[in-house]
Amino acid sequence: MTARGDFVARFGGVFEHSPFIAERAYDEGLAIVPLSAKRVHDALCLIFRRATVEERLGVLRAHPDLAGRLAIAGELTEDSRKEQAGAGLDRLSPAEHARFTELNAAYVEKFGFPFIIAVKGLNKEDILAAFEKRVGNSRDEEFTTATAQVERIALLRLTTMFPET
């Protein structure tokens, strides 16, 4: 495998199902050695921010619903599964699951992409409170918030890949 291939294989999933970000970062010479969580995060975020609105929207849409059908079917990426389980979203009561399902549907209908939040350090009550608040945002506010959350998720994922940094 080429150095590019190695870079994309390692970091192509940091932004959910969006390897184009790692590909462009490498192609633009942003894969600066020695690699660190901060360097890779800075590179990937620069590419993400330069992406077209439609490409960024595609990254948002690549994220799963919280406690949604993919989680139930066991079809989340390993990172998403661990993140949601860490926040207790895999252990919802039927009433809590119904509320998440209702909010997921309302949110996607309003904004056109799933609710995204970096769940590390949060519990299901924190997430539900943020969900209920953010569903009242304007589309522009929520697009900005969701993209910032995607970048935070990327940093958290990279930090686990580079525990020494």
Higher per-residue pLDDT: 79 or 38: 38
| Gap between the Cα atoms of 55 and 11, Å rounded | 18
Q: Which CATH number does the domain housing residue 154 bear?
A: 1.10.3330.10
Least confident window among 33-42, 81-90, 105-114, 149-158: 81-90
Q: What is the DSSP string of 5-55?
A: HHHHHHHTTSSTT-THHHHHHHHTT--PSSP-HHHHHHHHHHHHHHS-HHH
Host domain of residue 15:
3-57
Same domain, 89 and 25: no
Domain boundary among 13, 28, 57: 57
Amino acid identity of residue 130, one-letter, is A
- Please state, as a whole number, how many other Cβ atoms lie within 10 Å of the Cβ of residue 150: 24
- pLDDT classification of 87: cutoffs 50, 70, 90: confident
Short-list 60, 32, 30, CA closest to 154: 60
Dist CA 165 CA 163 (whole Å): 6
Quote the tokens at residue 34.
Answer: 């020695």
Looking at the structure, do residues 95 and 52 belong to the same domain, yes or no? no
What digits encode the pLDDT tens for the residues 104-121?
999 999 999 999 999 889
- On whether the CB atoms of residues 32 and 39 are closer than 8 A, the answer is yes
Q: Is the pLDDT reported for residue 21 higher than 50?
A: yes
What pLDDT does residue 70 have?
45
What's the pLDDT score for residue 58? Answer: 97
Active-site residues, by number, are 63
Enter the DSSP assignment of 136: T
Residue 4 has pLDDT above 50, yes or no: yes
88 alpha-carbon distance from chain centroid: 17
Amino acid 69: pLDDT: 58
Percent above pLDDT 90 for the chain: 69
pLDDT the model gives residue 68: 62
* Averaged pLDDT for residues 81-108: 85
The label of the residue with tokens 């969701």 reads 146
Domain count of the chain?
Answer: 2
| 3-state DSSP assignment of residue 32 | coil
